Structure 1
Amino acid sequence: MTIPVETFFLAQGAGGTLQQQIRAMIADGILAGRLRAGDKLPSSRRLADHLGVSRITVTLAYTELVAGDYLSARGRSGHYVSETAPVRPEAVGRPDGRGSAVDWGRRMVRDFSGHRIVGRPEDWRSYPYPFIYGQADPALFDHQNWRQCALRALGRRDFDALTEDYYERDDPMLIEYVLRSLLPRRGIVAEPSEVLLTLGAQNALWLSAQVLLGPGRRAVTENPCYTGLRSILGQTESEVVPVDVDEEGLPPDVLPQGADVVFVTPSHQSPTNATMPVERRLALLERAQRDDFVIVEDDYEFEMSFLRPAAPSLKSLDTEGRVIYVGSFSKSLFPGVRLGYIVASEAFVREARALRGAVLRHPPGHVQRTVAYFLALGHYDAHLNRLHQAFRRRRVVMNEAIREAGLTVAGRGDFGGSSFWMAAPEGVDTEDLARRLRERGVLIEPGRQFFAPGREGGNAYRIAYSSIAPGKIPEGIARIAEAIAERA
């Protein structure tokens, strides 16, 4: 890497000659790790012009640094940070001695980092048996056609979509295909003014919570539920009431009185995979009408319905505009695309749009247009078909492996999905189980983090088949069973 000349400046009031100051400035940068082995320094002429000193002053400083093995000279190529340059010993605190005199614990009004998340090692792909949920399998992704769509979105014809600040608007091409291609699969009919693109479902849930909740408001969540939602609701200062789910999802008849917003995942309850039957969906809508609350429907995984067609969405059954529908491309494409959408009444979308505009304007135009082409050219449907076939095969393999190993499935989903919600024998702490399995090359997700505090299910865990090859599944399941047998 060539180090920009703007990186260097002479400190006001520094002691010593100019040559000494330049030498100290570069040496300190190397010792502090800002300048790394192999980095190329600016030419002596450029650095001299930038600092306003004579070229010979810089040349002499470089010569001294070469003698001290901080730099190496490579003929006509220039000066580089030496591969054997001195390094500063490890020390407590910043290497430049600076710190912070601010008591940030007192200054910050909220704790955003204290919530529990589903943790996974950054190098999870290096583990032989990664039963990790929600990650894309590169073997199943349509790299070639995605690349072609991305290149097309970089062309002159789409220059405005690539470069323009939409302010609060969205790419009309993508909105059109969401309305014409995606929403009809869920029985939803909407106008462009009723759709808002978001940076994934997480951003959609945050926007919904910020618009609808605050001090004095009551939110109802499923228990267990998506961990990110609990963190979002904690930022609103509203009362959050968890309601235990059963084998059919959230029971409408046990909802507390005085609810303002109910958050629900009816198609594939997160994380148990329970599917809410149509009768219960209608009962939930009737309860919403009677008690005058609104519903946020997180339909994060409906595209993964490959066993049989998904039940009608709550939004499609809603006749009063009480449902705010949240969709996402994270599971059907890949999480890194960071693109989702909200479908709701125009009045709500208007406020959510204004809030989104104040925080991040809009999702990147190039991403929007690339996804629009991927939809328009038929690649998305072909990609989903490949996913469905692969997931169906993996599910069969995992079902059989679980049966043979004698493990207990607590929730498997009626329509497909990409994971199993499991129950270890009573007394088995799955957080401890996950740590021991990790040493054996197996990654699972302990269940406790999905539950409300004080209502944890310590023996629950989740295993997914979206990120593991079918041939690895039986051995991975066998290792889980072996580890459980050791602790049971």
Structure 2
Amino acid sequence: MAIPVETFFLAPDAEGTLQAQIRQMIAQGILSGRFRKGEKLPSSRRLAAHLGVSRITVTLALTELQASDYLESRDRSGYYVSENAPEPPAFADPAPRRETVDWARALGRRYSDGDTPEKPLDWARYPYPFIYGQTDPQLFDHANWRQCALRALGARDFHALSADHYDRDDPSLVEFIARHILPRRGILAQPSEILITMGAQNALWLAAQVLLTQRRTAVIENPCYHALRDILTQSRCHLHAIDVDRDGLPPEALPRHADVIFTTPSHQSPTNATMPLDRRRALLARAADREALIVEDDYEFEMAFLHPPLPALKSLDTEGRVIYVGSFSKSVFPGLRLGYLVGSKPFIREARALRASVLRHPPGLMQRTAAYFLSLGHYDSLIRRTARVFAGRREVMEAALAAHGLDIAGRGAFGGSSIWMQAPDDVDTTTLDTRLRAQGVLIEPGAPFFHGPDRPRNFYRLAYSSIPSGRIVEGIARLARELDSGPGHGADRPC
């Protein structure tokens, strides 16, 4: 790899001859680790022109560095950082700069104090990862995704992936969503009522920004998706949490002052409760009575391997009161970061304008690749294969949980990818998670999902999207043994 000539510069206050300054500049680059062994330096002619010095000055500096074993010369190829060059020292962290900014006063708003937990980036190295939201690479259709990406990179689609479309989306992707995805949920929408987003979380953020002010009240489920609560807290709106029951959000608990209701009726997050049809109608009636809007997050509706899912809340809406959030992040792969908003034209117009001011539009290459993957039937094949595998994993997990007498607090009526669990009252699952990691087991503590200061500490989530069936039984056995051992025990048990 060649080192760009632009990375070389002489400090204006440097001392010594030009030759010494050049020699010191290159040596410091090697010692600091910026220039690595085997990397090629610019030619002496280019370096001299860039630095504004004579070529002979540069040549003499390079020759001396070669003599000191910092550089090596290769016939008709130029100078390279020598394989025998001194190793960059393992410096301690540099001393902090003497900053004079009072960041406590300078920060107008804070975004780092949310409840979204940190998940281990190396989750795949754990043998028993009951971790939610990740994908199993064994299930993904790599070959066809690659072919769709190559097709999207072709000359025919060059404009679609390279142009700045400002606030527009890929028409092929929007058309597929309108004609094939939404009708499966009973939703009919025009392209002007659909907006592509950077996943469901971005869609929820756009909805919150457009619909809420500091004087308005947002209603959330308790427990709920922790990132949603972070988004609403940052919006500075009033927040009203309603405890869910076995059927999800109870409409009769809605406050009179509700402005926007955020709900997951088909697959409550994280309890997996499914809202019955009569309650969905009651929720719409209550929202209409309060002139409130509803934001429906319909995540994981594709994973219906037990029973067909109920129609989406949006499909029952005759007043334009429901804003629908969908995503491909769970059904295709999380790193895709593509989702969509469906709502009335005035709302989509404002959400589109906000999105354009923040990120223009999701990358054209990803949109066009996804459009091909969906339209060529690969998406449907992936969903069928994933649902079939998830059904088998869930069966194995439920049998293992039953064998060890572990308490299930909630499971999806039509499928999904996780089970909501309840440990004994004296168990803090955050501490339990730490102890289990030493045994190669990952779980998701439940406390961040709850709102308020007195959060239950004994709930947790087990996902089966990222763990093969053959490892589930042993993983659950380790979990059960740790629960039986009681708090404070078992931390040093070998894997």
Contact residue 3 and residue 41 of structure 1 kept, 8 A: yes
Aligned twin of 2:3: 3
Worse-matched range after superposition: 229-238 or 349-358: 229-238
Query: Does residue 85 of structure 1 match 2:60?
Result: no
Aligned to 1:154: 153
Q: Secondary structure at the match of 2:200?
A: helix
Give per-residue Cα distances to partners, 1:76-103, cap 9 Å, x unaligned.
5433334552434524436xx8554322
Paired residue for 2:230?
A: 231
Report the Cα distance in structure 2 between the residues aligned to 1:275 and 1:396, rounded to whole angstroms: 19
Tell me how far apart the structure 2 counterparts of residues 377 and 7 of structure 1 sit (CA, whole Å).
46
Deviation at 1:208, TM superposition (A): 0.2
Question: Which position in structure 2 is the counterpart of 1:58?
Answer: 58
Q: Give, in angstroms, the shift of residue 195 of structure 1.
A: 0.6
Structure 1 residues 15 and 342: alpha-carbon distance in aligned structure 2, compared to 1, 3 A threshold: same
Unpaired runs of at least 5, structure 1: none
Cross-structure match for 2:114: 115
Distance 1:72 1:432, change over 3 A: farther
Matched residues in 1 for 2:343 and 2:77: separation?
Answer: 61
The CA deviation at 1:37 is 3.4
Given that residues 31 and 87 in structure 1 are in contact (C-alpha distance below 8 angstroms), is that contact kept between their aligned partners in structure 2?
yes
Report 1:358-373 matches (<5 A): 358-373=357-372
Deviation string for 1:36-66 (max 9, x for gaps)? 3333222222212211222222222223334
Q: Which amino acid aligns with 1:274?
A: A
Alpha-carbon distance in structure 2 between the residues aligned to 1:93 and 1:453: 40
Deviations along 1:165-189, one digit per CA (max 9) or x if unpaired, are 1111111111111010000000001
Residue 389 (structure 1) aligned with residue 399 (structure 2): no
1:468 aligns with 2:440: no
Q: Which residue of 2 aligns with 1:401?
A: 400
Contact 1:133–1:464 (CA under 8 A) maintained in structure 2: yes
1:221-300 alignment, distance < 5 Å: 221-300=220-299
Structure 2 partner of 1:431: 430
* Contact 1:37–1:85 (8 Å) recurs in 2: no
Are 1:210 and 2:209 matched, yes or no? yes
Cα displacement string for residues 377-408 of structure 1 (whole angstroms, at most 9, x for unaligned residues): 11111111101111111111111111112111
Matches of 1:307 and 1:118, distance apart in 2? 30
Q: Kindly tell me: are residues 73 and 11 of structure 1, through their superposed partners in 2, closer, same or farther at Cα, counting changes over 3 Å?
A: same
In the TM superposition, residue 350 of structure 1 has moved relative to its aligned partner by: 0.4
CA distance in 1, matches of 2:224, 2:64: 62
AA aligned to 2:88 is V
What does residue 493 of structure 2 align with? none
Preserved contact between residue 71 and residue 85 of structure 1 (Cα < 8 Å): no
Q: In angstroms, what is the RMSD of aligned CA positions?
A: 1.6
Counterparts of 1:80-229 in structure 2, within 5 Å, are 80-83=80-83, 84-93=85-94, 98=97, 100-229=99-228
Asked if 1:30 corresponds to 2:30, the answer is: yes
| Mapped partners of 1:67, 1:458: distance in 2 | 65
Distance 1:447 1:207 in 2: 26
Does structure 2 retain, via aligned residues, the 8 Å contact 1:70–1:86? no
Residues 1:28 and 1:318: Cα distance change in structure 2 (over 3 Å): same
Which stretches in structure 2 are left out of the alignment for 5+ residues?
A: 488-495
Residue in 1 that maps onto 2:337: 338
Partner of 2:492: none
> Would you say the 8 A contact 1:179–1:190 is kept in 2?
yes
2:18 aligns with: 18
Q: Secondary structure at the match of 2:372?
A: helix
Aligned to 2:310: 311
Query: Structure 1 residues 220-229 or 40-49, which shifts more?
Result: 40-49
User: Do residues 70 (structure 1) and 83 (structure 2) align?
Assistant: no
Cα pair distance change 1:133/1:289, threshold 3 Å: same
SS of corresponding position for 2:362:
coil
Indicate if the aligned counterparts of 1:260 and 1:292 stay in contact, CA closer than 8 A: yes
Question: Matches of 2:31 and 2:459 in 1, distance apart?
Answer: 49
The share of aligned pairs that are identical, in percent, is 64
Bigger drift between 195-204 and 71-80 goes to 71-80
- State the alpha-carbon separation in 1 of the partners of residues 57 and 332 from structure 2: 57
Partner secondary structure for residue 325 of structure 2: strand
**How far apart, in 2, do the equivalents of 1:368 and 1:87 lie?**
43
Name the SS for the 2:10 alignment partner.
Answer: coil
Give 1:389's aligned amino acid: R
Change in CA separation of 1:65 and 1:98 when aligned onto 2, cut-off 3 Å:
farther
- Give the TM-score normalised by the residue count of structure 1: 0.96
Structure 2 match to 1:485: 484
SS of structure 2 residue aligned to 1:263: strand
Q: How many residues end up aligned between the 2 structures?
A: 486
SS of match in other structure, 1:228: helix
- Superposed CA deviations along residues 15-45 of structure 1, whole A, max 9, x for unmatched, are 1111111122222223333223333222222
Asked whether the equivalents of residues 93 and 99 of structure 1 are also in contact (C-alpha less than 8 Å), the reply is no
- Could you say if the C-alpha distance between residues 66 and 405 of structure 1 is closer, same or farther in structure 2, counting changes exceeding 3 Å? farther
* Distance apart, 1:362 and its partner CA: 0.7
Q: What secondary structure sits across from 2:219 in the alignment?
A: strand
Deviations 1:223-274 (A, max 9, x none): 1111111111122111111111111111111122201111001111111111
Q: Secondary structure, in 3 states, of the residue corresponding to 1:168?
A: coil
- Shift of residue 200, structure 1, vs aligned partner: 0.5
Distance in 2 between the 1:32 and 1:100 partners? 23
1:446 is aligned to 445
**What displacement does 1:468 show?**
0.6
